[in-house]
Amino acid sequence: MDAMVNGYLVSNILIDIGAKVNFLTLDAWNQMGRPSFHPSSNVLYMANEIRAMPIGVLKDDSITIQGSKFKADFK
């Protein structure tokens, strides 16, 4: 799916607006012009019991999908 994230067209992005945690791939971050992260000390626990440490958080990002607008944080 393609979406506008903070004014940048990001191709092939997976978005689950109902999720508690939103992940952003390195490719999507690059397409957004590599914005600065807020620090994060969270530890994320995956379904397969692997722990992941986000490198940061993008807060209150504006997302537009087919004319519908949302706000989300990305880790």
- pLDDT at 58 (0 to 100): 81
- pLDDT at 27 (0 to 100): 86
- pLDDT at 60 (0 to 100): 75
Gap between the Cα atoms of 17 and 35, Å rounded:
21
The 3-state DSSP class for residue 61 equals strand
- pLDDT at 20 (0 to 100): 77
Task: Spell out the domain ranges in the chain.
Answer: 3-74
Spatial contact of 17 and 70, defined as CB atoms under 8 Å apart: yes
> Which residues pair with residue 52 across a beta bridge?
44
- pLDDT at 24 (0 to 100): 79
Gap between the Cα atoms of 50 and 13, Å rounded:
23
Gap between the Cα atoms of 35 and 49, Å rounded:
30
Gap between the Cα atoms of 50 and 48, Å rounded:
6
Along the chain (75 residues), what's the average pLDDT of each consecutive run of 10 residues? 83 76 82 87 90 84 80 75
